[in-house]
């Protein structure tokens, strides 16, 4: 069973964003699997960098939609994106200096991603329904 289970409840109804969310879920699952398989404290730096890059691209796309349609909760939503990026950066830094606790950070990523999609992104999706 995957670490983060993709379910229909996570679908916003905007195909491009749903596809990106599915990819983010798969990436978090990949980080988890890599840590479990290796028995090491950290996933490879390449996997962490890939998640960091993909998340930044995804957030840029979402924020573009929000700005284009004057989403009233843009600032709060953007701040949540920044929190996720900071957590991934922390994982990267802490793995590099040997102070990582990957189980704690992976649990944060899992919880953040599912809660963010189910709450904050769904609100954005309902707003964007009128435009897309």
Q: What is the CATH number of the domain that holds 41?
A: 1.20.120.50
pLDDT at position 22: 96
17: pLDDT strictly greater than 90: yes
Quote the pLDDT of residue 109. 85
The answer to the question of residue 27 being in a domain is yes
59 part of a folded domain: yes
Is residue 20 included in any domain, yes or no? yes
Q: What pLDDT sits at residue 18? A: 95
Counting the structural domains of the chain, the total is 1
Banded pLDDT at 35 (limits 50, 70, 90)? confident
In a domain, 2, yes or no: no
Residue 89 is predicted with a pLDDT of: 87
Q: Left, alpha or beta for 48 (phi > 0: left; psi -120 to 50: alpha)?
A: alpha
Task: Compute the mean pLDDT over every residue in the chain, rounded to the nearest whole number.
Answer: 89
Give the mean pLDDT of 19-48.
Answer: 86
What pLDDT is stored for residue 39 in this prediction? 73
Q: Is residue 85 part of a domain?
A: yes
Neighbours of 94 (CB within 10 A): 17
Collapsing DSSP to helix, strand or coil, 39 comes out as: coil
pLDDT, mean of residues 55-80: 96
| 4, part of any domain | no
Mean pLDDT score, 36-46: 77
Q: Could you give the CA distance from residue 50 to residue 40 in angstroms, rounded to a whole number?
A: 19
Binned at pLDDT 50, 70 and 90, residue 79 comes out as very high
Provide the 8-state DSSP code for 4.
S
Domain span at residue 38? 13-128
84 within domain boundaries: yes
d(CA 120, CA 100): 28
Residue 80 pLDDT level (bands cut at 50, 70, 90): very high
Residue range 50-56: mean pLDDT, rounded: 91
The predicted structure's pLDDT at residue 81: 95
| E strand or H helix that includes residue 83 | helix 74-97
Per-residue pLDDT, 84: 87
Burial of 130 (0-12, 13-18, 19+ CB in 10 A): exposed
H-only helix segments in 39-73? 45-68
């Amino acid at each position: 069973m995957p670490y983060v289970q993709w379910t229909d409840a996570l679908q916003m109804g905007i195909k491009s964003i749903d596809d990106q969310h599915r990819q983010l879920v798969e990436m978090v699952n990949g980080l988890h699997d890599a840590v479990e398989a290796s028995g090491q404290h950290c996933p490879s730096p390449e996997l962490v960098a890939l998640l960091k890059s993909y998340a930044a691209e995804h957030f840029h796309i979402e924020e573009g939609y929000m700005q284009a349609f004057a989403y009233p909760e843009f600032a709060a939503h953007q701040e949540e994106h920044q929190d996720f990026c900071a957590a991934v950066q922390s994982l990267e830094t802490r793995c590099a200096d040997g102070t990582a606790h990957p189980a704690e950070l992976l649990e944060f990523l899992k919880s953040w991603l599912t809660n963010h999609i189910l709450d904050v992104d769904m609100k954005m999706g309902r707003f964007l329904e009128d435009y897309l």
